[in-house]
Each structure stands twice: as structure tokens, then as C-alpha cells.
Structure 1
Amino acid sequence: MDRIVISGGSPLNGIIPIYGAKNSALKLQAAALLCGDPLILENMPDLADTRFMVQLLASLGVEITWIKETRTLRMHAAEIASTIAPYDQVRKMRASFNVLGPLLARVGHATVSLPGGCAIGARPVDLHLKAFEAMGADIVIEQGYVKAAALRGLRGAEIEFPFVSVGATEHAMLAAVLAQGDTVLKNSAREPEIADLADCLNAMGARVEGAGTSEIRIKGVTSLKGTKHPVVGDRIEAGTYALAAATAGGDVLLSGARAEHLGALIDVMKAAGVEVRAEDRGLRIKRDASKRLKPVDFETEPFPGFPTDLQAQTMAMLCFADGQSRIRETIFENRFMHAPELARLGAQIAVHGNEAVVTGVDRLIGAPVMATDLRASVSLVIAGLAAEGDTIVNRVYHLDRGFEGLEGKLSACGARIVREKEEQA
């Protein structure tokens, strides 16, 4: 098993390219099941999660050609060979559950394992299933599997989500594009990845309007065609490297990052004393590491609010602030598990339910730490970049689910960071 070793204290200077968004790419991969023509995705991130999805799609009969040098993924679902997504595949990654909707829409039936819980909360799929039932699907849950059927086809429906859910919004879109009649999704999520999915579906011949707003309208079509689509840049990756530069200090250009996707984070970073500037090529982050950061209070919210996927990384930055910051997590339970690991480096963090109080310190001291989930793992890397001495981050397989070439990108900007095999007991 790998670990990452960081020798802290080096500012970051240079250019970091931002790749395609994991959270968009996974749903775009599922969209390949909707038609018999090839779907070609450009700017495709090469991650553990996207590789898991490729394996699942191949097991369903999708022909895969992935040219990683050009970041191009070609998926051709000429025939659906299987409509069963087994537990061994779905358990590896929750997003693989999203093959249910496309299979149901195209073939009329599917059997997909329930994904189960995860380290940052239960994240149940009941909203997904209720949306499909509203479109006329019969759904039975047996022995941990969802068995869904709509043998006469899905029907358009008006669906109002009781709370904002990115996953349920995207999954309902993937099914509704081939439903008979009109579908209206109310209280929809508004994330850029949803607009990206809609752009791809529309290029395939779907009729989706309103993506990026709280109400999405979909006119069902009888069939879709293949297309070529570039995956939108990963705003969470961009935000993570922005926070790394802000914490370690230096001058970094995030090539391909879009300021309009990171408004809430940019507000917090500016309030902390970080210089953030939009440029033609992307987003520039500058900070003099000799000056203390300012404390900031914020809470996570659905887009366009502050993203929960950047909460852990921002906490790492605020460990170095001159004063006390308050963070409220309103999206997921159990999402402060990085706090005890940051405390091993000397951070002062008090967690009370869904609120964390971070009292800034003069310095952190490197120590062995353990990653608990994807975003927590990279928050430890960020803290290690600015800590004194060596920080050893164990269980970095979490990191590989969402960040491609992290050590290389940071090393190119002057960080002292290496990946090595964990010592065996």
C-alpha cells in the first residue's frame, strides 16, 4: 500500500493544469448506455473511480477505447449484454449505481446492487428510486439489489425533490431523456456538473432545459445519437490546489480553472487575506507565506454556496490563521474525521456536532497521519505542505479516487513530496 511523504516549508510557484471533473465524468460515462452509437469524452480524468466505471460498463457490454495520452475515452454500447450490476462492482464506488437509470430507460429493466453507506454518511438512494417510480417504474429491493422494470417504457412526470440532491438530479435526468412525454425536476441541484451533463445529453439529441437552475424541464425523445463532449474542468481539484497554494504560500496559476465555479471559495480565501485573480488562462493564487492568514467563518451549502467537498481543505488552511474560525457542515454527517488527524500535527480544532472551531496556531509539526476519505486525505497533504518537518499520509488509495498526478503537479511547483510504499510491520 502506498503512502505520501511531504517535507513541508516550501512555497508553491508555477502552473498547475486542471483536469476534467470526476463528479461530471462518472455520470457522463453512464450516459454512454443511453444509445447504440459511440460517446467520446475528451479531457477525461484517469482516476480510480473512472477506471472502476469503465470496468462496470465493459461488464454490461460497452466497448471501451481509452487513449490516455490524449485524455480521450470512447464508449460504444451497440448492444447491452447484461443489465445486472453486481455488488462486487458497485461496492467499489457509489456513482456506479447511476447505471440503473440509463439501463431502465433504454432496455426497460435493470438489476443493480445497492451501494451501501460510506465513511462520510449514509447518502441513501431513496430519492433516485422515488423519481423512477414517479416515471412509472416498478421497483423491488431484494437481497441488497434494486430490481427495476418499466417494460412499456418510462413516462414523463413532475418530480419535486424534498431536498437538493446532486446525485438524484443527475440520475433522474439520465432516465428522463428517453421517457415518454415531459419531465419537470423541481428543487434540482444547480452544480456546474449538472449543466455539463445536460450539455452532453443535448448534443446526443436530448431536449433538456434549465440545467443549472432549480427547475429542469426535459422533453423525452425516442432515441439518442453519439457525440463528442469535453468534460468540464474539475472545480474541486481547482479549489484544492488553490487552497494548497494559499496555505503553503507562493504564486500559482491554475490553468483551466473557472472563477464562476468557485465563487463561494474565492470569497472565503479573499477574506482570509489570499490574493485570487481570474486571468485568461485560469485562476491565479498568491500569498506571502510570511504573513498570517485571517480567520473566517463559513458553512457548507449546495451550489452556489460553499462546497462540502472543499471543507476539509479549507480547514487545513485555517489552521494557520491568526484567530478563531468557525465551520458549519450542513451537507454530510461525519465529515470532520480529518480534524483528529490535523490535531496530530498540532492543530487546535474543537468539533461539536456539525460545527468545528479552528483556533489558528503559529506552526504545525509533521507527523504520521491516516486518510479517512478522499477530501480528508488531501487536507492532510495541504497541511503537510506548510508544516515543519515530514508529514506521512497513509492510506492514500482514497486520494487516488479523485486526484490524478497530485505529487507530480505539486512537485513541479516546488513542493517536496514523494509517494512510496508503506513499511510493512
Structure 2
Amino acid sequence: MAKMVIHGGKRLSGTVTIGGAKNSTVAIIPATILADSPVILDSVPQIKDVYNLMDMLGSMNVASDYDGDVLRVDPTQIKFIALPHGKVKSLRASYYFMGSMLGRFGKAVVGFPGGDDIGPRPIDQHIKGFKALGAQVHQQKDSIVIEAPHGLHGARIFLDMVSVGATINIILAAVRAHGTTVIENAAREPEIIDLATFLNNMGAQIRGVGTQTIRITGVEHLGTQSSHTIIPDRIEAGTYLSLAAAVGDGILVKNIIAEHLDAFLAKIQEMGVNLDVREDSIFVYPNSQLSGIKVKTSVYPGFATDLQQPLTPLMLLADSQSTIIDSIYPKRTRHIPELIKMGAHIKVVNNQILVNHTSHLTGTEVTAEEIRGGASLMIAALMAEGTTVIDCAENIMRGYDRIITKLQNLKADVSYSGNEIF
């Protein structure tokens, strides 16, 4: 169990550069096995999930090499296997191998996915999509077996609920299927556009990404262009913007696509955070007086569920109550008892998080149950007087590129004890 140790109560300043998007990366790496030639990915974040996905590629005889922020993947010698359960359970995004293996081999055997425990996240819409494309799906012990003995064919698929995961998995399965697939009520996240850009540059025919209707005309081969630069991580960006507003004496956050953060930026500006939004960066000025706000998470382009937790510590500084309603994952509240240990005046009432002004936080020992909750505790620890020890800090490492180095460059007093070096 890794620990992050933070000596808080210090004002931070300087520049931080945002890495490639985690939620793009964990979809694009499984997508590389659809290619008929080697692939080069640039701006790949140095996070645990990348190494876990590389291990899964290796189990399929897919060579990969990671140097700096460049990942090279060679799927030309790929072999079909049932993906090992231990590795699959290490992160939820492993379920994207269901779609990519189905698209590549016409079959997939994948253990039930793991990842953060933030409430129910069923995969029924994924299964619905695979069946519509001609696959048969059944459970075998603790694995999902998906087979298309007569091949995959295009279909019209209406998602009963907007699902990023299902949208991505159906794209991965349909991109080499026969005929045209139409996904209606599709998710619109920038990371889906990034995945489609990667696939289209290799010869796929995907249209309509970024809208509620996506059309995919299947192709026989992929691989006409082998390189792709991953978009900046909007969740990492929002996390550092919250941090900068809470403990910053002037922090420049670089490598940002501001339009991907419209809902988040609107809310922190409503609080009174003073920003200078530039072409590909945002400068956060020191803040003195902040007001409470109401946040309700929703699917993109609404306020991202992944940003409600990193925003919570900043809300403690507001002079009036703030309210958070997470309509995506109402049970995403495991960070709240940990913040209370630090002295936060915060509670959960009827699936609403009520955040009240807190003038003083005190360092203590807390636990990062999952990625974004861990980021929330990290920001609170930087705000707190004294020393905070964050247990299970490896969860934070799953989602934040070189976070220790970046914090230290902002003059934070932080250290990390774990097997990873970031």
C-alpha cells in the first residue's frame, strides 16, 4: 500500500503542464490491436493504467515500448487469448478489449472488469450493442464470452442511456464489421472524438462523433497512418485549476483545450475564481473571497462527474453553502468521511453533498479509495496545516500523469512511497 505524504499550509506557484487524456488513452491502447501495422501514440500520460494495459497487450503477444510520453505498439504478431483475470480486474477500462478483440478476432473472453468502486456501472448496454452486431454473449464462470461465429454486421443501435463505455466498445467492434452501424443516443465526450480520430487516420470510416448519432461503415483493414497525439486531459486540468484556486499564489496551467472544460470553468468563475483563459492555457490568480455554488453532474457537455470530487475542497473556502448532486454516480461520496477527519464541515443528505465554509483543515491520515476521491484528499492536504498521510495513494497514480514531480515543481512539500516512479 503506497503512501503520499503532504506537508500542507503552503502557498504554491509556478507552471504545470497537463498530460494526455487518461480516458482517451485507456480506449486507444485497446484499439491499437485493430491495426494491421505498428502504431505510435504521443502524449501518453505516465499513469499506472498505461502499464496495466501494456501487460495485457503483452499477454496477447503484442509488443509495446514506452519511452517518455511516446508509446509504440506492434500488433502484427498478435495471438488470441482469454485475458487474465488478475490484470483485467486492475482497471475497469480493460473492458474495451471486449470490443477491440471482437472486432479483430470475432470473439473475446474477458474477465469481469474491475476499477474504482464508485457505485453500479453495468455493462448491459455494451452487451446489447454486441448482440445487435451479431455476437452471442454468455457468462462462463467469472468471464464474459462473446462470439460472432458468422461474423459481425452493421446494425442500428439505440442506447437506453448515454454511456461512454458502451459507445466506445460498439465503435471498436463495428469499425471492421460488414456494413454500416448507427449508434443513436451516443455519448459525446471529447475522448470519443479522439478515439474516432485515431481510427479514422488509420482508414476507418466513422462520422458524427461529438453528436448523438454516430455512423460507422466497416472496413477490412486499418493502418494507413500509424501515429496519433492524444488530447490533453480535461479532468487533470480541472484538478489543477481547483488546486490553483485553493492554494495558489498565481499558477499557469498549460496544454488545455478550454472548450472541453466549459461547464467546469463556468462554475468556478461563478464561485469568484479569477481566471485568464488563453489559447491553450489558463492562468489562475490568487483568490480571496469565494461564494457557494450548486453543481449537478451530467453527461458531456455538462459538468463531469470526475470533477465533482476535485472541486469539493475548493468549496470549503466559500463563504456560503455549496451543494453537489452527482446524477451519474450518486454513491460517489467515499471521500467525504476522509475530508471530515481533516475538519471539513461537509455531509451527505439524500444523495446531496452539502459543503459548508471551513476555515481550518488539519493534516491527518486518510485513505484514497479511488482516483478522483484521492485527488480531492490531495488538494485538501495541500490546504491543511500540518502533515497528511494519504494511504492507498497508488489509486491517485492511476489517473494523474507524473503527479509528484508536477506538485514539487509548484513548490509543494510532497513525497510518495510506492513501487511506481512518476
Q: TM-score range by the shorter chain?
A: over 0.9
SS of the residue corresponding to residue 317 of structure 1 reads helix
- Name 2:171's counterpart in structure 1: 173
Offset, 1:389: 1.8
Letter in 2 for 1:38: P
Please say which of residues 307-316 and 106-115 is displaced more in the overlay: 106-115
Deviation sequence 1:4-60 (CA, Å, 0-9, x none):
222222222111011111110011101111122011100111211111001001111
Deviation sequence 1:311-344 (CA, Å, 0-9, x none):
1111111012111111101111420111111111
Counterpart CA distance in 2 for 1:6 and 1:89 is 30
Letter in 1 for 2:128: K
Deviation sequence 1:322-373 (CA, Å, 0-9, x none):
1111110111142011111111111111202321111111121222111111
Counterpart CA distance in 1 for 2:176 and 2:21 is 25
Please say which of residues 109-118 and 292-301 is displaced more in the overlay: 109-118
Match of 1:417 among 405, 414, 419: 414
- Name 1:143's counterpart in structure 2: 141
Counterpart CA distance in 2 for 1:117 and 1:36 is 30
- Name 2:317's counterpart in structure 1: 320
Asked if 1:285 is matched to 2:284, the reply is yes
Please say which of residues 279-288 and 361-370 is displaced more in the overlay: 279-288
- Name 1:261's counterpart in structure 2: 260
Deviation sequence 1:209-239 (CA, Å, 0-9, x none):
1111111111111111152000111100111
After superposition, residues 24-423 of structure 1 pair within 5 angstroms as 24-68=24-68, 71-115=69-113, 118-225=116-223, 226-288=225-287, 291-420=288-417
Please say which of residues 81-90 and 53-62 is displaced more in the overlay: 81-90
Counterpart CA distance in 1 for 2:114 and 2:237 is 29
TM-score calculated relative to the size of structure 1: 0.95
CA contact (8 A) 1:36 1:79 kept: no
Deviation sequence 1:240-285 (CA, Å, 0-9, x none):
0000001113211111011101111101110111112222341221
CA contact (8 A) 2:90 2:114 kept: no
CA contact (8 A) 2:80 2:105 kept: no
SS of the residue corresponding to residue 58 of structure 1 reads helix
CA contact (8 A) 1:258 1:283 kept: no
Offset, 1:169: 0.5
CA contact (8 A) 1:105 1:153 kept: no
Counterpart CA distance in 2 for 1:184 and 1:221 is 15
Counterpart CA distance in 2 for 1:359 and 1:333 is 19
Identical amino acids, percent of aligned pairs: 38
Offset, 1:118: 4.3
Offset, 1:388: 1.7
CA contact (8 A) 1:59 1:82 kept: no
Distance 1:275 1:371, change over 3 A: same
TM-score calculated relative to the size of structure 2: 0.96
Q: Which aligned runs of 4 or more in structure 1 are off by greater than 6 angstroms? A: none
Q: Where do 5+ consecutive residues of structure 1 fail to align?
A: none
SS of the residue corresponding to residue 172 of structure 2 reads helix
SS of the residue corresponding to residue 263 of structure 1 reads helix
Deviation sequence 1:94-133 (CA, Å, 0-9, x none):
1111111111112111211111574101211111111010
Letter in 1 for 2:250: D
CA contact (8 A) 1:320 1:363 kept: no
Letter in 2 for 1:162: D
Letter in 2 for 1:248: V
SS of the residue corresponding to residue 177 of structure 2 reads coil
Letter in 1 for 2:142: G
The RMSD of aligned alpha carbons is 1.5
SS of the residue corresponding to residue 285 of structure 2 reads strand
CA contact (8 A) 2:188 2:301 kept: yes
Distance 1:87 1:353, change over 3 A: farther
SS of the residue corresponding to residue 200 of structure 1 reads helix
Counterpart CA distance in 1 for 2:43 and 2:77 is 26
